[in-house]
Amino acid sequence: MSRRGWMLFALMSVLWGIPYLLIKVAVESVSVPMVVFARTALGALILLPLAIRAGRLDVVRRHWLPLLVFTAVEILGPWALLSDAENRLTSSMTGLLIAAVPIIGVVLARLTGDAERLGPVRWAGLLVGLAGVGVLAGPHLGGGSAWAIGEVMLVALGYAIAPMIATRRLQDLPSLHMAAFALAIAALAYTGPAVATWPSAMPDGRVLAALVALGLVCTALAFIVFFELIREVGTSRGMVFTYVNPAVAVVAGVVFLDEPLTGTIIASFVLILGGSVLATARRSASADPDPLPDNDATAYAHDPAAEPAPEPAPEL
């Protein structure tokens, strides 16, 4: 990988690793709808003019229905659930639970007709990754924490479904257009709830900075960097950064929010990430070194999610 590729890779690892920290800060003072609205509106404000200037709006019109479904399972539901869950969970724990997305993606791919056979290594990866989720979530399955963990697992499910929609129904839609219009749709959907829950007093500078960073840095800038990374190194290599995001989430929570770094967190991190790597391993060692064209299925083709469904998807 080129020096530019490594720089973009490192940048993406941070840009989609710190949203959990920023969400945790924001939900302390503003409502969940306000957090989602701020992030989507600011992201759309930057990306939508770029998409309109690029043209090809007829493609967006032709794919409006799958784009709506994609937006629902990637942004509308997940970003609200994630923000609400972080009222009760630490940002590091949330980031680690989301790391199960590739494992869920493998299972869904098999259930929806993926012809690729799962060998012993990939089955082992599924079991190891699920064990990691159990180690992390088990001690918290009581009271409000159980509800919050359920919310995060629904987010992971949405992040696993979204790339499948992107690769199977939105192949002709350019990456930039998909991200820009999905964010615009979500911003419109959350305008009413955000106005209804508008804070009575101006949040402090720390919270405002978190909201701005979520929208401009972790959404708009992140997508621009992501597109450049995929063009530079190709999808298969580029998407490996999704394995680094949980580590960034844990470190950010420990350093900036004084969240605990326990043996359970370390053990679950090793199990979940190790299981994800094994579960999404390809039978062939060949990589995809060629950059993809701009209309490749995309920013998600994760995150969580994109690419063939078994691979990890980026989180928006």
Please, what are the averages of pLDDT over each run of 10 residues along the chain (316 residues)? 84 92 95 97 96 93 95 95 93 87 82 72 83 79 78 92 87 91 97 95 94 96 88 70 84 92 87 81 52 40 38 49
Question: Does residue 245 fall inside a structural domain?
Answer: yes
Question: Does residue 77 fall inside a structural domain?
Answer: yes
- Whether pTM > 0.95 for this model: the answer is no
Tokens 């989609």 appear where? 16
Q: Which two tokens stand for residue 240?
A: 């490996």
Rounded CA separation 86/157 (Å):
17
Question: Is-contact 189 311, C-beta < 8 A?
Answer: no
Question: Does residue 315 fall inside a structural domain?
Answer: no
Give CA angle at 71 (309, 293), nearest 5°.
55
Rounded CA separation 134/112 (Å):
25
* Nearest by Cα to 257 from 24, 8, 76, 95: 24
Rounded to a whole number, what is the largest CA-CA distance in the chain?
57
Could you list the beta-strand ranges (E) of the chain.
none
pLDDT at position 239 is 66
Question: Does residue 236 fall inside a structural domain?
Answer: yes
pLDDT at position 211 is 96
* Domains held by the chain: number: 1
Residue range(s) defining the domain that contains residue 85: 3-279
Measure Cα distances from 309 to 24, 105, 162, 279, 315 in Å: 30, 6, 9, 12, 14
Question: Does residue 183 fall inside a structural domain?
Answer: yes
* Nearest by Cα to 296 from 204, 171, 197, 181: 171
pLDDT at position 291 is 43
pLDDT at position 294 is 42
Rounded CA separation 305/300 (Å):
6
Question: Does residue 235 fall inside a structural domain?
Answer: yes
CA quadruple 49, 55, 61, 64: dihedral positive or negative? negative
Terminal alpha carbon distance of the chain: 24
pLDDT at position 157 is 93
Question: Does residue 287 fall inside a structural domain?
Answer: no
pLDDT at position 153 is 92
pLDDT at position 304 is 37
Question: Does residue 313 fall inside a structural domain?
Answer: no
